[in-house]
Structures are given as structure tokens and as C-alpha cells.
Structure 1
Amino acid sequence: MLEPGRTYEEVVSRFRWRIPERYNIAVDVCGREPPDAPALVYVDGAGRETRYTFGQLAELSNRLANALTHRGIGRGDRVGILLGQSPETAITHLAVYKLGAIAVPLFTLFGPDALEYRLANSGARAVVTDPEGLPKVLGLRDRLPELAHVFVVGDDTPGGALLFWAELEAGAAGFDPADTRADDPALIIYTSGTTGPPKGALHAHRTLLGHLPGVEFPHEFFPQPGDLFWTPADWAWIGGLIDVLLPSWHHGVPVLAFRARKFDPEEAFFRMARHGVRNAFLPPTALRMMRQVPDPGRFGARLRTVGSGGESLGEDTLAWGREALGVTINEFYGQTEVNLVV
């Protein structure tokens, strides 16, 4: 959306919002690229790698949209997504948007009280989770009268849960996405609740387009040829979802999905080098840990851009970034309600 210029003033003078009346996030991010173009590199906890193309994601999300429809989930319904960085997370988001339903990302480390509040407050009719999250959801089910279905990414279905992949594979490969307006609701992300109960920020489909300048500018007019994006930030937070995953796919840029249970700075350098990561959103806590790694150049990472936000980094960290990462770390500030504003 941004056009490069020689000065900041020139970039601003050229900028124009281009928001169509009819717009759907899923149609945008997985319906415009060549079907065989790479979209996702997933590394699981055991280090196994699986790759997905845009065409595969389009078909898989079509199948899940049909499966959700079969179970009575439709336009305007809220669907909780209690998963980490994984293909199933991305597929569920795309399917929910295609339905005209509303995604509710949920952090996997939330305890029962935090989950109950968000699921009840949003009126979620379905939840997609994994074997680790399933006991927490099932323990709350009796107190969530609107929750009709629980899908689990696994092999067992205790408590009447539905097998995610079995349901998906039973769905037809074709699906006609809802004809949504850019202003139609797509996503509820809850604030952290530091000043009171968490507040559900309702974002429309246009939120992705509204975020693009805030991604393109700090990442040096993203995208550029050869770009590939990664963040250790969970996709349940707006920084991981709307500042990395979906903007990358809007631009046809592949994303690395890898989030260890505990952040390992050496593993981060290794993964960025191995997978050719060129763009990274690294929170301050991650950068501080990465500063402790001796001789990070030995891993061979070749970053083009690094963005960070949440708190000020300080000159020492910025200087380290120029020396160790070979880039100037661009800092930004945003909120769940409006995302990047500075």
C-alpha cells in the first residue's frame, strides 16, 4: 500500500487509503497467489518440517468451512482458536473468515478463568484446540451454554469433542466465501486487562488493510524479493497475527511457523538461518535474550529487517542489532484496539 520515496514527506504525500467496499480477509490472503506458491513452513516441537502452498491452504480452509457449516456454525458466530503457531491455527482463521464468522484468538497459556471470561463474553459457539488445551475447555463447558462444539487437533475425542482433521477431510474441497463488506466483523482480540477486565476489541475485515502501512514502513517497504517472515510472538496476539502472518500472505510472502515452549535464543538464530528468514518481529524480551548469544554470526542468518515493540529497547540494544544482526531495529508502538500508531 505504501509507495517508496526519497524522504518521509514524499512517502506521506503519495499515500492513499485503498479500501474496497466488499472485502474478505481469507479471499485476499489465499485466493490471489499461484496455487503452488509457498505460503507456510511449519516446524513442530520435534523439529519436523512441513510446507504448505497457498493452494493447499485455500483447499484446506474450504474443507473446514464446509465442516463448520455442517455443524451449524455460520455468519456472525464466534469461533475460539486455542492453538499456538501451527497450520491448524491458520486454516481455522481462514475458514472462519470465509464463513463470515468471527475468530477469537486465545493464548494457549491462559488459565481456566481467563478462558472462561473470553469465551463467555464473546459468546463463542465453537472452539478449536489441541490435546493440551482440551481439558481446560471441557472443564468449562457446563458454564458456557452457547458453546456448541469443541474441535481437537489430535487422535482422541474425550468429552464429545470432534476430531479436527476428520471433520475437515469430510468437507468438500469447494466453498463459496461469504460476500462480506470491508466493515463486517471478522475478529475479536482481547486486551490484556491491565486496567480492568479484558476488553474484546472487534475488528472488521478491513483491519488487515488498515495495518499494512504499519508493517510495510518499519520493514523497509515490505515486501521485497526473497522476503520470508517469522516472529516468536504467538498468533493469538495482534502482533503475531496482524503484523506478521496475515500481512505477509496479503503480499504473497511465506511465513515460518515455529514457537518453542520456551524461547531459546540460539534456536532462534538457527531457525532464521536455516529457513532464510529475512524479516522478523522480535519482542524486546526475545532481543535481550538473543544479546547473550556469543558470536551470533556463526549461524549465518541474513536478515533484511527487524521490528520490535512493546517497550523501549535502549541504545545498547539498538547498537547490538546493527552489529550482530546487520540491521537497524525499527521500534514501534501499538495497542490491541488500534495496533501500530507510532
Structure 2
Amino acid sequence: MTQTAPAPVDRAVQEWLATFGATDADAASLLVDRQEPSAVAFTTVEVDGDRLIATNLTFGELADASKRFATALADLGIGRGDTVGVLMGKRSELVVSLLAIARLGAIYIPLFTAFAAPAIEMRLTAGGARVVVTEPSQVDKLDGIDVTTIVAGDQFDGLVDGSVPLEQSVAVGGDGTLILLFTSGTTGAPKGVPVPVRALAAFSCYMTYGLDVSADDVFWNAADPGWAYGLYYGVLGPLAIGRPNILLHAGFSAALTARILTELGVTNFASAPTVYRTLSKDSSISGFSLRRASSAGEPLTPDVIDWARSALGTEVRDHYGQTEHGMFINNHWHDDVRVDVVPGSMGFPMPGYATGIVDGQIAIDVANSPLIFFTGYLDAPDKTAARFTEDGAWYLTGDTGRVDDDGRYFFTARDDDVIIMAGYRIGPFDVESVLITHPSVVDVAVVGRPDELRGEVLEAFVVLGPDVDGSDALEAELQQLVKTGFAAHAYPRTVHFVDELPKTPSGKIQRFLLRQR
């Protein structure tokens, strides 16, 4: 069956576009000020020894603090069009800073806390930021960078408490830039993506139809707000639709994740595939009863999908998107657009998007996709042009895929990750999905290596579990697993046993680095 959006869905898309795309759109007012002041916007969670300290943050508290912090930033010379970096984890000051920056018509640059100083400096320099809001554990990374720093704690609190509320927010309109977010650098240098206020319409659509976040849910998007999925759908999306999210200010572990799911009664969970994969490898993690579970970032492997049905009480639905657009092809959860999942498929286009396959790539039909918000990379016209067909009609994702007779999309690989061996096109995901099912394998990546006879051959990089040693016998076993589980010609000619895989801070495998080894 081919999925089409019903009339109520189309009307919802138009209403979001009218709200967030208006010429007088005021981001801070739309995200916070219009909400019920006493309603919970976020629940922040800190870990103190054996205790979890959960604190509710209301929309009224956010409104007041962000208005005061906006005044403090204005006193530092920040105004419309200026950029401000924010280098901190999932804590209330991050949200206050984002909203304060928006109130001034300024632009928020997210900085991931796992970045080293050079990565931070590159983004601040490219974005032209003069001020950075950070936290004590991160402040040393800013040494030697020509910026003014504001540190969470006494300094931040003092500025908020000592400033009068900003009387009037700046309305930059739907086309005004709200965020400057840099891509993860999966295949090369990161590129700056200006995100306009009207992107909130697309975020609202995904929160509603992709994730199906309802008023009764305890929602937790565990992704880091230093990257698109965590920022778009862990901070901005929840604010836009007035639904609270959980902000856990602690590092990831399977045990802690399980504890949060249990003690806070999470019913709707969204995270990266690596989180689900790690949970699935721990036999003690089971028995939850989630209403919805969603994944994005890299395709889910079949073993995780099978595990989730019993361990989480629901299936995990795979969703697809990019920094440039957010999510736009999904195995949607909402009743109005939900259909049965076909294993390996990432689903159907989200309402507000029309898609197709162009030159083998997953592509967006620009004229027929009213929720599209990408207009180009920061100061990179050549890279921008390369993202579109010559006539500008289609945006090219750089990811290859296919569509079945019912209109479902299947991801194959990033265009430069496709392996062509003796004329056969092999997507690394297919081989990785087989290798990960071996009980000794914790993580895996497959790349192509030049071969004089076949053009390319496959090589696998495998991370083994604790107390498992790589051996010739295990290599042969993994090769045979691919021959029997996928295709005889597609087995990896060499298996490298490694301690870890090179990944971007958002968890995407950097296969181009593996090809350079």
C-alpha cells in the first residue's frame, strides 16, 4: 500500500507553517511565552551517588530566566544576527541560553561537550561567535580562543538574578536564522547549516506524526543536544508542541538508561541505534513497557528489532533524516499515518515532504515539500550546489536507497560508502546486519578496499565483547556467517579485530577513516 496523508494531517502541516513561517514569527514567544506558565517544560535529572535528583522546570520559569539572561547578553553587545556558542550538556542553563539568544534575534551555535578544543574553535570561528556559554567541566577547552565566556553556576545565576527581564523579544520572522548547526563530518569537513525559525514546523510534524508524543506520555529523547536529533527533537520540538522532555545530565550507561526508564516511568523513548544495541547486549536489561520506541542516526540491525519486542514491550521504529532537514522518512507511530513495519525499511515520507530516487540517491522534491527548510551551507556555495540537481528541483541526500512497490524506502549506504565488487553494488549495512548477530560481536563496520581483479573487496572492522580474543578461526566463522546469512560473494575478505570504531561525536561511523587505514 502507498501511504498518503489524510486531510487532517495536511491541515496540521499548513497550520504549523502558518505559525512558525509567519513574517513576524518570534521564536521565543512561540516556544515558551504562549505556553501555560505552570506546565512542565523539562525534567532535569542529576545523578548524586545512588540517588537520581529529578527537578521540574516550568514554562514560566524558563520564560523569566531567559528574559533576564537575554538582558545580560545584550549588555555584552549581543544583538540581532550575532552568534553565541553554547558548550554544555543536558541541563537547564542550555535551554535558558537558547531562548535568551532567540529573544535577541541572535543565533545559537550548539557545541558538543565531547569536542576537543580545535573542533570547538573551528565552529566558533566559522560562525563568528564572540560569546560562549559553558559549564565548569568544559571551560578549559576555551583557553586561548578569543571569546567571552559565561560559566554555568554562580556566574550564570548571578547574571540571571541581577538582570531585569527583557521587555520585548526580537521577531526575526520565519526565514530568520535561529540555529547554526554544523554537520557531523561523516565524509569530510563539517559544514554549517543555518536553521530558520520556520524549521519548527517540520520539528512539530515529526514530534506529532513520527514519534507520536502525546499529552499522556513521559517522553525521553536521550540524544545529545549538541547534534541535530537531540537539539531538534529533544529541545526545540518538545517546546514547539508544548510537551516535556527529560534532560539527563550524566554520561550514558545501559544500567543508568534502564533506571531512568523505570523510575521516571518513560512511555515514549527516542535514541540512537548505538543505545539500543548496547542495551540489547546486556542480558539484565529487559521487561520494560514502552508505548513507543524510535531510532535515528544509522539503520537498525534486525537483531535489535527482534530484541526490542520482548525487552521493551514494543518494536523500535527506524526513522531517517539529516542535519540539513531533520527527519523526513519514517516508520511513523501516529495512528493517522502508521502502517506495519517491513524489516529493513525506514518507512514512508513524512507529511509535508515529497521524495524520490534520483541518480540512485534518496532525494527530496523541493517544489512539493513545504516543510523543507535547507537553503544552503554557510559560506559554501559549491557544496550547496552539489546538494541539488542542476535545475534545483531535487535535493540530493548523498545516501543511496530504493523504493518498493508500496512506496516504502530502504536505505542502502552513503553514496561514497557503496562497495562495487565485480559489478555488484553492495551496501555495507547488509553485511554489518549479519555480522552483528554473532554473540561475540559488539560493533562492526564494513568498507571497500581496492582490488586489482574485482575492483573492490569487502573488509570488516569488528569490535569484540569482553574476554573474547580475535583469531583466524573466528575470522573464518564470521566470513561463513556472511556467506550463509547474506550472500556468498559479499563476505569480507579480511576481518580486522579492533578496540573501537572511529565515529563522529554523534555516533556515526566514519568509514572514510577506516578506508585510509
Partner of 2:276: 287
Quick check: which has more Rg, 1 or 2?
A: 2
Map 1:94-109 onto structure 2 (within 5 A): 94-109=99-114
User: Is 1:271–2:254 an aligned residue pair?
Assistant: no
**Contact 2:38 2:59 (C-alpha < 8 Å) held by counterparts:** yes
SS at match of 2:56: strand
Give the unaligned 5+ runs of structure 1.
Answer: 1-6, 142-146, 156-162
The equivalent of 1:211 in structure 2 is 203
**Alignment partner of 2:217: what SS?**
coil
What is the 5 A alignment of 1:24-103? 24-46=26-48, 47-103=52-108
**Using the alignment, how far apart are the partners of 2:316 and 2:26 within structure 1?**
32
Displacement of 1:217 in angstroms is 2.1
What does 1:1-342 correspond to in 2, within 5 Å? 8-11=3-6, 14-15=9-10, 16-18=13-15, 19-20=17-18, 21=22, 22-46=24-48, 47-141=52-146, 147=147, 149-155=148-154, 163-219=155-211, 222-261=212-251, 263-297=252-286, 301-342=288-329
Distance, in Å, in 2 between the alignment partners of 1:118 and 1:82 is 11
Instruction: Using the TM superposition, give the Cα deviation of residue 136 of structure 1 relative to its aligned residue in structure 2, in angstroms.
Output: 1.1
Whole-angstrom CA distance in 2 between matches of 1:196 and 1:267: 34
1:4 alignment partner in structure 2: none
In structure 2, distance between residues paired with 1:80 and 1:114: 13
* Cα offsets for 1:79-114 (capped at 9, x unmatched): 000001000001101111111100000001111110
Determine if contact 1:65/1:175 at 8 Å carries over to the other structure: no
CA drift of 1:195 comes to 3.0
Q: Which deviates the most, 200-209 or 228-237?
A: 228-237
1:295 CA displacement: 4.8
Distance 1:186 1:174 in 2: 18
* Alpha carbons 1:218, 1:331 under 8 Å: kept: no
Give the secondary structure class of the aligned counterpart of 1:81.
strand
> 1:208-239: per-residue Cα shift (whole Å, max 9, x none)?
112222332222xx332312221331111110
Considering Cα pairs closer than 8 Å and 6+ residues apart, tell me whether 1 or 2 has the greater RCO. 1
TM-score by length of 1: 0.88
Find the aligned partners of 2:240 and 2:223 in 1 and give their Cα distance: 19
Moved over 4 A (4+): none
Mark the runs of 5 or more structure 2 residues left unpaired by the alignment. 330-517
| Percent pairwise identity | 33
RMSD across aligned positions (CA): 2.0
